[in-house]
Structures are given as structure tokens and as C-alpha cells.
Amino acid sequence: MTRSGTLVKVHPRQPAGGRSTDRGDLPEHKAGYALRDLAALIAACAAHGPNIGIYAERILDDPLPWTRMRTVYRLLGLVRRYGAQRVEAACSLSLDLDVVSVTKIASMLERATETCAPALPRAVGQEATRFSRDPSEFSSTPTPLTVISHSESEETR
């Protein structure tokens, strides 16, 4: 690269379609975006809380992690909007339930349910139905039985 006839920088030759980006040529606050630096993105999340960092790692655990970077940026936006403490609690609860969805985290924060215990589904058949009977209706009083032997029945004839 030259400027006004003066050599400024030399980039190594790249094959067709290749690129050569020097981190020093980029503004410091934009380098992570331009170079798709996943480690820096996870570190930024982990700086707000350990569960937020683990959550970001789970989001980026993909064969094409750069396709998930916007989702992690959205998670960082939730930290700015709601605070690290609330997002940390929501991420902790979501990790316990093995739910990896920033949309669910946002919903929890909007409804302020990040500290509530989740309502687990009830077991089938545990609740009384509309037309169920009282259990006492099924109990029977034992009636004494009289055993008649075969010889007694012939005598009565």
C-alpha cells in the first residue's frame, strides 16, 4: 500500500479469494467485529458473569459459530439493558433447564421471572376429573356368606 508515492504497508500475497487483514489496521473497538474473534466475545460475556460466559459458549458451539455471533451480541445488549445481575440469574436458570435461547432469556427478563422457579408440568392422571367419584362409593361392606355343603342340599329334598 502506498500513500502519495510513499510505501506505507506491505501485505503478503494471497491466493484468489483470500484476504489479509492486519489487526493493527483496525480500530481497537471494532477489531472483534471485523475479525470474528470468538474468544474475545466469550471473554466479554464472561466478564459480566460466569453463567453468561457459559451461555455464550453454548450459543457459539456450532459448526459455523460466526453465524451465531449476532445472538451473543443480543445477549450483551440484554446485559446493558437489564443489568448483569438479572441476566446472570436468567442464564443460570436456563442452563439448569438446558434451554439455550436468547429469546427466552429476553422474555424472562421482560416478565421479571428470572428468579422464579419454573412451573414443571404435572403428571398425567394426578388431578381429580370433573365426574370422578368419591373413593368411599367403591368400598363395600362384607356380607357373611353361608356355605351349604352338597350333603345338606340333598337332605332338604
Written as tens digits, the pLDDT of the chain (157 aa) is 667 778 777 777 888 887 777 777 777 777 666 677 789 899 999 999 999 999 999 999 999 888 899 999 999 999 999 999 999 999 999 999 899 999 999 999 999 988 887 777 777 766 666 667 777 777 777 777 788 777 655 666 5
Nine-digit cell at 144?
357373611
Q: Domain segments of the chain: what residues?
A: 26-118
- For CA atoms 16, 21, 25, 27, give the dihedral sign: positive
Tens digits of residue pLDDT in 62-103: 998 888 999 999 999 999 999 999 999 999 999 998 999 999
The pLDDT, as a whole number, for residue 154 is 61
DSSP code, position 68: G
User: C-alpha cell of 54?
Assistant: 457459559
Amino acid at 26: L
Residue 7: enclosing H or E segment and its boundaries? strand 6-7
